[in-house]
Structure 1
């Protein structure tokens, strides 16, 4: 049975209701990443490669340090991922125009093709879910996601969200 609790009852969620929400998030994430995971596996990449490609696409010319901040990973971990993407011709690293120690990252044409393929798979799944849920659910879902973000992370998200590509 598909219950729709009133907005008043949502203010007093039980531990069990919260657990169901947590589990729904886990399973939704599995579905959301399933198609890209298959594409990445065929090419010998993982989710870390996907995230790097995604955010380099969103901010062409981003620095390695900025990408480290966005992804929240160690420098060693990111360097491993970037080395592979650069060696495979998907990402280009350029010396900074003002600070020669900086490295600015750009997708190559091959990297852009991979990014589009991965994003289209997720966009299709998102579009189907949004259509099924309706506009008010979409707005509510975004509010919930944004409310779960820590303040620093929300600032990074808002900076990216406000960019147009």
Structure 2
């Protein structure tokens, strides 16, 4: 790799359409790989990726409100309510009425929900660790920078707030 550049010594400030297309395709296939392990676990339970995302972000934000989860996931209320009804009915998520605002519902993973979240996340963490080790620390930092640069401003603010919480 040439100093400050990529394939053929081209600088990062100029990428050909072909280089960008390769990156887009790599992202599509990487996403398929990243979601494959959790998809297999979820398929046995008749759940999909929407259930996984809800479980993930409820785990990351215990007590989050339905409205906050809607903002994080960027889905319709109807879509999220379908997912939450299933997760609550099957004992994976608990919904508690807000203390200050009785209209709010605060969401928590149950013990069973936390165990499922652990299984799903372990599969993805294993894949990410292996990829990070193979790529090396410089690539890991660059990868995160690229991902953050692709986020819209609102998404980046949500991501940074979540990242800062730990």
TM-score tier, shorter chain, comes to over 0.9
Distance apart, 1:5 and its partner CA: 5.4
CA distance in 2 between partners of 1:7 and 1:68 (Å): 41
CA distance in 1 between partners of 2:3 and 2:126 (Å): 30
Matching residue of 1:74: 76
Equivalent of residue 114 in structure 1, options 113, 116, 124: 116
Equivalent of residue 41 in structure 2, options 34, 39, 42: 39
- Give the TM-score normalised by the residue count of structure 1: 0.96
The Cα offsets for residues 64-103 of structure 1, whole Å up to 9 and x where unpaired, read as: 0000000000000000000000000000000001000000
CA distance in 2 between partners of 1:96 and 1:129 (Å): 41
CA distance in 1 between partners of 2:104 and 2:67 (Å): 8
CA distance in 2 between partners of 1:125 and 1:21 (Å): 19
CA distance in 1 between partners of 2:158 and 2:53 (Å): 15
Distance apart, 1:104 and its partner CA: 0.2
Which runs of 4 or more aligned residues in structure 1 lie more than 6 Å from their structure 2 counterparts after TM superposition? none
CA distance in 2 between partners of 1:73 and 1:123 (Å): 25
- Give the TM-score normalised by the residue count of structure 2: 0.95
SS of equivalent to 1:141: helix
Distance apart, 1:143 and its partner CA: 0.2
SS of equivalent to 2:19: helix
SS of equivalent to 2:165: coil
Q: Does 1:57 pair with 2:54?
A: no
CA distance in 2 between partners of 1:6 and 1:130 (Å): 22
Q: How does 1:91-102 map to 2 (within 5 A)?
A: 91-102=93-104
| Bigger relative CO (Cα 8 Å, ≥ 6 apart) | 1
